[in-house]
Amino acid sequence: MTEADRKTGLSPYLLQLPQGESSPLFLDSPHSATSYPADFRPAAGLPLPLLRQAEDTFVDELYADAPARGIALLCAGFPRSYLDANRGIEEIDEAVLDAPWPGPRQETSKTRLGKGLVWRVLDTGEAIYDRKLSVAEVQARITQYYLPYYAQLQKLADQAIATHGSAWHINCHSMPSQAAQYATEHPGLQHPDFVVGDRDGTTCDTRFTDRVEGVLKEMGYDVWRNHPYKGVEIVRVVGQPAQKRHSLQLEINRKLYMDEVGLVHNAGFGKLKADLNALLDDLKTFVKTI
């Protein structure tokens, strides 16, 4: 994937289809876009490097070899701070709006942190906007970006079911080495190398979760399960094990592969990417056996 491909802020997503024989396994990276739509208009004094801390920087690059392995890779074309694809469509924080929201609205731990479908603050607490957003602005973001992204996710799952009889999905994320004040309900927590989330065993066959965790641990990584990240909206929607649709969230500690302040690769990037390729190779075989 080229740098130009990564910057897809004018499209709902970038989809890279499998090369050769397809696998029932597919991936998505909902937070790795690095360009910003013209209608975003964050606060004029907000530095871009600070705004970019919200990105899952380079996650799409880490998994860029997946299509050559027969594994589809879907990447969101809009940045997380503009619209968070991993939030429910009803997670509306009215504090960011200039009028009441006309549709259903759900208060969650994330909306209370100012991190709903449309973020109000960054992980470190800085306000993203120096204005209120209109209801029409948010509705347009949902229509132009959120809904097409979820439609493509479901299409990939449907295609896997039609071709292979089952669908296996990994929702790919990164996490800072230490949880920020407004990022989670565990500010200051030192994160492990990986967190595997299946919403307490409800979004995929636990043998799949066990396999991902086991392979990573065999590689020498510190892996936690469902803490502090269980998986959120994407795995909830895609993961329907009773329908042979399995979804798991995988969080990677950014210190393994990047300078978290400078937003550049560090010396560990190549090793981590090779290890993730080995994980995908293992899972591609494993999902055919269960």
Q: What pLDDT, in 10s, does the model give residues 44-71?
A: 999 989 899 999 999 999 999 999 999 9
pTM for the whole structure: 0.94
In sequence order, what are the residues at sequence separation of 6 or more whose Cβ sits closer than 8 angstroms to the Cβ of residue 52? 34, 263
pLDDT at site 118? 98
As a whole number, mean pLDDT of residues 227-240 equals 97
73-122 per-position pLDDT tens digit: 999 999 999 999 999 999 999 999 999 999 999 999 999 999 999 999 99
CB atoms within 10 A of CB 61: 18
Which residues are paired to 104 by β-bridges?
none
As a whole number, mean pLDDT of residues 264-283 equals 98
State residue 90 phi and psi, 5-degree precision: -95, 0
CB 74 within 8 A of CB 101: no
CB atoms within 10 A of CB 47: 10
pLDDT at site 124? 86
What residues make up the domain containing 31?
Answer: 3-286
Considering its fold, how many domains does the chain have in total?
Answer: 1
d(CA 155, CA 152): 5
Q: What is the dihedral of CA 217, 223, 224, 225, to 10 degrees?
A: -60
d(CA 14, CA 266): 25
d(CA 275, CA 97): 43
Q: Which amino acid is at 284?
A: K
- Length of the chain as a residue count: 290
Query: Which secondary-structure segment (H or E) carries 168?
Result: strand 167-175
Say which range, 8-12, 117-121, 163-167, 268-272, has the weakest mean pLDDT.
8-12
171-211 per-position pLDDT tens digit: 999 999 998 766 667 778 999 999 999 999 999 999 999 99
Region of residue 199 (left: phi > 0; alpha: psi -120 to 50; beta: else): left
d(CA 136, CA 138): 5
At 232, is the pLDDT very low, low, confident or very high (cuts 50, 70, 90)?
Answer: very high
Query: Residue 225's domain is classified under what CATH number?
Result: 3.40.630.40
pLDDT mean across residues, the chain:
94
At 8, is the pLDDT very low, low, confident or very high (cuts 50, 70, 90)?
Answer: very low
